[in-house]
Amino acid sequence: MVRVVGSRTRAAIIRSQRITGLAPDVIAELVAEIGPLWHERHQAVLTSRPRRRAVGAGAKYKLLFIDRLLATLVHLRHATTHDVLACWFGVDRSTIT
């Protein structure tokens, strides 16, 4: 089960420039520009080595790319601990780490 931040929470984080330090349109540009690159790199890593299981098997990501980006922005802006970010994003601390 993929557990992500609710759309209301995500929208509140994106909307508040005090939380991320970036305007919502800048965050949208980052997602549009970096998201596909991150996905391509992830796929390249999966296919670059010999595998025992099929590509895509195994544990799924618990945070979507935009949630990862927002957690990174909040951490860099406020030096928020991983425990606080984990509570805020509804995942385990090890997922944030």
Predicted confidence pLDDT, tens digits, the chain (97 residues): 444 567 788 888 889 899 999 999 999 999 999 999 999 998 888 888 887 888 777 777 778 899 999 999 999 999 999 999 998 888 889 989 8
Q: What is the pTM of this model?
A: 0.79
Assigned domain for 32 exists: yes
Q: Which residue has the tokens 């965050």?
A: 27
What are the DSSP calls for 18-67, one per residue? HHHSS-HHHHHHHHHHHHHHHHHHHHHHHHSS--SS-TT-SPPPSS-HHH
The answer to whether residue 2 sits within a structural domain is no
**Rounded to an integer, what distance in angstroms lies between the CA atom of residue 47 and that of residue 55?**
7
Please count the structural domains in the chain. Answer: 1
Q: Is residue 54 part of a domain?
A: no
> Per the domain annotation, does 17 fall within a domain?
yes
DSSP 63: S
Domain hosting residue 20, numbered range: 7-45+59-96
Domain assignment present for residue 37? The answer is: yes
Asked whether residue 92 is domain-assigned, the answer is: yes
Which amino acid, residue 21? G
